[in-house]
Copies of this chain bind each other. A is one copy, B any other.
Amino acid sequence: MAALSSRLFPILKYNLTNHKSVCLQRSLLRWTERSFSCYASNCQLQGTNSNNHVLPGKVDRFGGVTVDLSDRHFPPDVTESAFHVLLQDSLRQWRVDGRVAAWLRVPISQGRLLSVAASHGFTFHHARHDRATLSLWMGEGENRLPGFATHQVGVAGAVLDEASGKVLVVQDKNKTKNAWKFPGGLSNLGEDIGATAVREVFEETGVRSEFQSLLSVRQQHKHPGAFGMSDMYLICRLRPLSHAIHFCTQECLRCEWIGLAELAQTDATTPITSRIAKLLLYGYREGFDKIDLSVEEMPAVYSGLFYQLYHRELPTSYKQP
């Protein structure tokens, strides 16, 4: 096992000698002796040539290599200088192997290794909870790595009571300009559009409702409060299942059922609310098929998961092959 250690990590050994780091040596021995074979069996190992000293990584089908520093076999107390040399040698080997990208998954507890990676050209790709993912493009020409999520998704619900012709609107508490708008808010990760609309309407107003259709999509870049990202805002048509208002006083100043025709006419609203009120009024008078996008759940080809597809209603005769 000592031979394996010295074959795979001669430069680390060199560093050990220089730095007399008993701590690192112990960690490396732990990594190699106890669990290296296990770690290796789970990874497609890079640099099998005995002259190389390369971080074990997984190769993806796009020609990138990913190293997870939160792997339980990665020595938690590796010195920054040892990591610097190891990363340098790994990058050299990955370039020889024709890898086009390197990815590092770094737990927040190993934050001190981030500046080492940055000195080799890595930057943050994204970070969530207790882990950051860094990337480095090593291919020819410009960086072709996929970016991280660029949009937050907000959903509003236009709850229309068809019997009375009234629609549920709120005034935000925290805005300087009080204007009627449809209740809504940001989607949670993994939440369907219709589910966000129903949840947000209930949380803000106390009114229960069910999804009917998608009415409108808005895209806005440099959206305030989106941390430099863009905003996709969807407005749904909902049907009320209850009518009593118990609005959230932390978020709303007022909450009322008001006539749809009145909302479509008033100046005390936002441009988008006014426009959607007019659209909703058109559908209310002429038929909702004039304004609705219906939703259908369909199977994804490769993942085996399902997705929601929204578009104009298609006559049944066209749906059949």
Contacts and interface: CB of A to CB of B under 8 A. Distances in A.
Interface of A: 61-62, 108-115, 117-118, 123-133, 146-153, 174-175, 177, 179, 186-190, 192-193, 214-230, 232, 234, 264-265, 270-272, 274-276, 278-279, 281-282, 290-293, 298-303, 305-312, 314-315, 318-319, 321
A151 B150 CA distance: 6
Nearest to A215: B311
7 contacts: A108-B118, A123-B129, A124-B132, A125-B227, A128-B148, A150-B188, A193-B219
Report how many copies the assembly holds.
2
Nearest to A311: B216
Given A279-B318, A298-B275, A61 B124 contact: no
A151 B232 contact: yes
Contact of A307 (B214, B219, B264): B219
A132 B127 contact: yes
Classify the interface of chain A: helix, strand, loop or mixed.
mixed
A153 B232 contact: yes
B222 A303 contact: yes
Nearest to A286: B315
A125 B272 CA distance: 30
B127 A230 contact: no
Given A132-B132, A318-B279, A308 B219 contact: yes
A271 B293 contact: no
A188 B152 CA distance: 14
Contact of A111 (B61, B111, B229, B305): B111
B230 A301 contact: no
Contact of A190 (B110, B152, B230): B230
A111 B109 contact: no
